[in-house]
A and B are shown apart, each in its own frame.
Chain A
Amino acid sequence: MADAKTGDALWKWIVGGIAAGAAVLGLLIASYAIGYNRGEDNAAAPAETTSPATTAPAETSPATTAPETTPAETTPPATETQPTETAPSQAELVARGEGLWSSTGCAGCHSLDGAAGVGPTMQGLAGSTVTLDDGSTVTADDAYLEQAIVDPDAQVSEGYKAGIMSGAVASQKFDTRPEDVAALVAFIEKQG
């Protein structure tokens, strides 16, 4: 065992290793703590900055605010950002949903033409009345379709089994992708 043959030499290395590990762990904890505190500060910041702004008209006199912040200076950013933040058009959503339909493998189990498959067909699904495996019925509205994608086992259609789709789509993490879910719903609704 090379230089670790003697107990003394070995214990020095072990203590040194533990100290080095403790130092790295300490740095990680310190980084976390700093980041956590900054996160708290950031979370608190909007409340501090926005409240003066929202209350400005009431709290400040026109004389003090007028020279610095004119409507012309403050409104353009709002109006400029509006177009980029607006939801995509329905056609864009459907196109995006169609791409997702292919790339995420939905077609492997669900048909679009009424053919039977591992899962129910999408033809005529949107707006229809779906019978669930507990015998109850539900209308296939947006909320139903979104839940069926994000949490497939929440409501399982009669004749199908829980666990199959949830296992297959688990890696997609649809719960963190609301825009993609909306696109898929739009595409499904397009199927009539």
Chain B
Amino acid sequence: MEAHAASVVHPSGTEILATARVDERRVAWLYVCTGLTVFGAMGLAGIAMRLNQAEVITLSDSWFYRLLTLHGAGMLVAALLVSMGALWFVLRTTVPLHLGRMLFSYAAIVSGAVLVVIATLLGGYASAWTFLWPLPFDSFDAWRPWSTDVFLVGNLLVGAGFFVYCLDLLMQTCATYGGLQRALGISYLRDRDDSPPPPAVLAAMVVAIEGLMAGAAGTTIIVALIGHAIDSGLTMDALWAKNLTYFFGHSAFNLTIYLSAGAVYVLLPGYTGRPWKTTKPIVVAWLFTLVFVATAYSHHLYMDFVQPEWAAGFSSIASFGAALPPAVVTIFTGVVLIWGSRYRWTLASALLYLGFMGWAIGGTGAVIDSLIPINFKFHNTLWVTAHFHTYLLMAVILWAFALFVRMLEESAGRTARDGVSAFSLGALLVGGYGLVGVWFVSGTLGIPRRWAIHPENTAGYSLVASIFAIVFAIGFLVMLLECLRLARLASVQRWDRIPAPSSSLPTRADPEPLLSSGFQFAAVCAATVVFIGAYAPPITDAVESNVRYHHLQHGAMYLVGLLVGVAFASLPSVFARIRSHPNLGITLVIAGPVVMMLGMVPSIYESLESNAGLHLLYHVGMAALGVVTGLAAGTLGLVTGRLVFVLSIGMALMYAAGVTGG
């Protein structure tokens, strides 16, 4: 802990906050600056689309949909980068997050974003970020076929970057706070832990677990689509594809608000002079989100009549259960923290405060839309555009700016000028809420989203929205200019050489093996023997007539390998050797399931079936992939390794359930 520049935070804030090290600062700069740059560029694409619908400029339909695709995918990258960087920055003072993995995540996400730019601007790809089967492959010559492949690989890279981030977050947080139950606050809730983890850790845990689940779903659907690109005979169930696509996409967008909220838990107390303590309502709220957020995505499928009704009903409950508790508890406790605290008002702290408003209004718009009868009226309208722009634009981006400005104010040793702050904040508020307000109104009038052409006589709404968007852009630019002024002041003081804390990175706890008792070994060995039955000739003969069962058999073989790998990885002598190679483990737990699913592209295995020897070798290879994945999972520690084990076999089952053809 080291003192902050007293003038930019609350007088008591210096006692609450740990000062970030140089690594944390540099990573935060890298992520937040890249994210805000991508946000600015994608914002220009958004304004161009709005001006086109206002009939001020003319874009061809082809270019409109290209920009729509680029804007959606690009904004996901921007929101992920700023929120990932913000949480990492605040958490690493207490949790030994891995610098190399964070840089790998950055490289993967930015590489993926570059591929998306190439696919859309050069290849003309324009199916929107949703890549809903079978549209990416049926452009009717609207885009070049290679651009689909490039877009999918780009998304896979973005997903891989986020997956690695979540893996590291879960591994290190669980190790630091003594296991899953303590890190989630469950032990504290049951009165078995007197020192609960801080709220930022609760948010980080929920993001990490949900992020890994969403990543597994996203990997499955994207690999299936890539499989179709390799072998056009591979097809998939359209409902299955939509479920997985939205599980991935909705969750990824949704988690950005929780990542950002985690950062706010740490940043805000610096301006209130009061610590943000963990209480039981906060723990319960985050547990609600953990339970419900994975199923909330299904509200995107209310109008898909083939989606089971129970799924729609559960999704309606889940949408409330996931969104309301953390928002209400966080905003309420945050405002109470500010109340009577002699809040230190600066540009950064004002942005933190105003972000609560964006979360509240955007979240309210979301839960209204998650009511089934209302969703039937609103879901394909600009109402939905309004709600997610509210929480992304007026919460996630404002909080990212807050961190950006805070680091500059701290480095420069002074705050932004009051007049400039007031002007830029005013422009952001008027422009931002004006823009989303017009969309809320347009949505209630039934103006559709995702369409290049709007109904006649509605261009006026787009014109008003465009003006508000430009006002927001002006506020954004003015704030950037003020940040540049602070950066110049900071550079005089060599901002990256400001005193760093003398303490070293918190010590990393040793990982635990996946199996920790003799009974667990016995159970895994028993399951392995039972699933070896998948190799029985009658089963091989029986599954020949049905592709899904055929893939299920391959999944069972992969499971045999996984179980063997997990058991071996947990043997004391083996674990002692592999425990120090978690980076290799992370690489293999991502590569293993991907290769396993690509190996189930029919054109690959069908050619082997005529030769009994090769066929057997292929089946043994499936188990070998499982062994590698299981061993790799063993390097990740008890909680993360077990979750990866479940997700790996989950991917095999999901793939078998939805993919057909051949």
User: Which A positions have Cβ atoms within 8 angstroms of B?
Assistant: 1-5, 7, 9-10, 12-14, 16-18, 20-22, 24-25, 28-29, 32, 36, 102-105, 161, 163-164, 166-168, 170-171
Nearest residue in A to B526 (C-beta to C-beta)? A21
Tally of contacts, chain A with chain B, CB under 8 A:
104
User: B residues within 8 A CB of A21?
Assistant: 525-530
- The reply to whether A104 and B306 contact each other, CB–CB distance below 8 Å, is yes
Extra contacts besides A1-B513, A4-B521 (15): CB < 8 Å: A1-B515, A1-B516, A3-B517, A25-B530, A25-B533, A28-B530, A28-B533, A102-B305, A105-B305, A105-B306, A161-B138, A163-B232, A166-B661, A167-B238, A170-B660
Contacts of A1 in B (CB 8 A): 513, 515-517, 570, 572
- Residues 512-538 of B, flagged 1 when their CB comes within 8 A of A and 0 if not, give 010111111111111111101100101
Given contacts A164-B134, A167-B134, contact A13 B522 (CB under 8 A): yes
Q: Are A163 and B235 in contact (CB under 8 A)?
A: yes
Closest-by-CB residue of A relative to B241 is A167
Residues of A within 8 A of B528 (CB): 18, 21
Instruction: Please state if B530 and A3 are interface contacts (CB–CB under 8 Å).
Output: no
Is A167's CB under 8 angstroms from B536's CB? no
A100 to B538, CA, bound (A): 35
Can you list 25 A-B pairs with a CB-CB distance of less than 8 A? A1-B513, A2-B516, A2-B517, A3-B517, A9-B518, A10-B521, A16-B522, A17-B524, A17-B525, A18-B526, A21-B527, A21-B528, A21-B530, A32-B538, A36-B538, A103-B305, A103-B306, A163-B232, A163-B661, A166-B661, A167-B235, A167-B660, A168-B237, A170-B236, A171-B239
Contact call A20/B526, Cβ cutoff below 8 A: yes
A167 contacts B133, C-beta separation under 8 Å? yes
- Which A residues are CB-close (under 8 A) to B530? 21, 24-25, 28
Cα–Cα distance between A4 and B513 once the two chains are bound (Å): 11
Bound-complex Cα distance A96 to B529 (A): 47
B235 pairs with A13, CB closer than 8 A: no
Determine the residue in chain A with the shortest Cβ distance to B532.
A25
The answer for the CA separation of A32 and B541 in the assembled complex, in Å, is 14
- Check A171–B240 contact: CB distance below 8 A: yes
Residues of chain B within 8 A of A28, CB atoms compared: 530, 533
Interface residue? B649 (CB, 8 A): no
Q: In whole angstroms, what is the CA distance A36 to B541 when docked?
A: 14
B532 CB → nearest A CB, Å? 7
**Known contacts A18-B529, A161-B138, A163-B232: does B524 contact A4 (CB below 8 Å)?**
no
Interface size classification for chain B: 35 or more
B571 within 8 A of A: yes
B660 touches A24 (CB 8 A): no
Q: State how many angstroms separate the Cβ of B484 from the closest Cβ of chain A.
A: 52
- What residues of B have a CB within 8 angstroms of the CB of A20 in the complex? 522, 526, 529
Most chain A beta-carbon contacts within 10 A, residue among B235, B306, B521, B567? B521
Chain B positions near chain A (C-beta within 8 angstroms)? 133-134, 137-138, 232, 235-240, 305-306, 513, 515-530, 532-533, 536, 538, 567, 570-572, 660-661
Q: Flag if A4 contacts B517 (CB, 8 Å).
A: yes
Contact B237 A170 (CB under 8 A): yes
With both chains docked as a complex, state the minimum distance between the C-beta of B217 and any C-beta of chain A, in angstroms.
Answer: 18
Partner of A5, one of B522, B538, B572: B572
Contacts of B236 in A (CB 8 A): 167, 170
The CB with the most chain A CB atoms within 10 A, among B238, B516, B661, is that of B238
In the bound complex, do residue A22 and residue B513 qualify as a contact, i.e. CB atoms below 8 Å apart?
Answer: no
Cα distance, A120 to B628, chains bound together (Å): 48
Nearest chain-A residue to B547 (Cβ)? A170
CA distance A166 to B235 in the complex (A): 8
Distance (whole angstroms) from the CB of A43 to the closest CB of chain B: 16
Residue of B nearest to A28 (CB): B533
Q: Which residue of A lies closest to B546 (CB)?
A: A173
A171: which of B237, B525, B526 is its contact (CB, 8 Å)? B237
A179 CB, nearest partner CB in chain B, Å: 20
Q: Are B518 and A13 in contact (CB under 8 A)?
A: yes
Judge whether A29 and B239 touch: CB under 8 Å: no
Q: How far is the CB of A154 from chain B (nearest CB, A)?
A: 13
Q: Which single residue of chain A is at the shortest CB-CB distance from B522?
A: A17
A173 to B, closest residue via Cβ: B546
Per CB-CB distance, the 7 closest pairs between chain A and chain B, nearest first, are: A21-B529, A17-B525, A17-B522, A13-B518, A21-B526, A167-B235, A17-B526
How many Å lie between the Cα of A21 and that of B523 in the bound state? 8
Question: Chain B contacts of A103 at CB under 8 A?
Answer: 305-306
Chain B residues, Cβ within 8 Å of A161: 138
A22, A102, A103: residue with the most chain B Cβ atoms closer than 10 Å: A22
B522 touches A14 (CB 8 A): yes
Q: Are A167 and B237 in contact (CB under 8 A)?
A: yes
Which residues of chain A are within 8 angstroms of B518 by Cβ–Cβ distance?
A: 2-4, 9-10, 12-13
Please name all residues of chain B whose beta carbon is closer than 8 Å to the beta carbon of A25 when the two chains form the complex. Answer: 529-530, 532-533
Query: For residue B525, which residues in chain A have a CB less than 8 angstroms away from its CB?
Result: 13-14, 17-18, 21
What distance in Å separates the Cβ of A137 from its nearest Cβ neighbour in chain B?
A: 24
Within 8 Å CB of A14, what residues of B? 521-522, 525, 567
CA–CA, A110 to B239, complex, Å?
18
CA distance A105 to B137 in the complex (A): 21
In the complex, chain A residues whose CB is within 8 Å of the CB of B138: 161, 164
CB atoms of A13 and B532 under 8 A apart: no
> How distant is B292 from chain A, measured CB to nearest CB, in Å?
26
Residues of B within 8 A of A16 (CB): 522
Chain A residue with the shortest CB-CB distance to B515: A4
With a cutoff of 8 Å between Cβ atoms, the chain B residues found around residue A163 in the complex are 134, 137, 232, 235, 661
Q: How far is the CB of A175 from chain B (nearest CB, A)?
A: 10
- Chain A min CB distance to B177 (Å): 21
Would you give the shortest CB distance from B662 to chain A, in whole angstroms? Answer: 11
Cα(A20)–Cα(B525), bound, Å: 9
A170 and chain B: residue at smallest CB distance: B660
B521 with A13: CB separation less than 8 A: yes
The answer to whether A29 touches B522, judged by C-beta atoms less than 8 angstroms apart, is no
CA distance A167 to B519 in the complex (A): 44
Hey, which chain B residues are within 8 Å of A13, CB to CB?
Answer: 518-519, 521-522, 525
Q: Which partner residue on chain B sits nearest A32 by CB separation?
A: B538
Q: How far is the CB of A33 from chain B (nearest CB, A)?
A: 9
Most buried by B among A7, A13, A102: A13
When distances are taken between beta carbons in the complex, the residues of chain A under 8 Å from B306 are 103-105
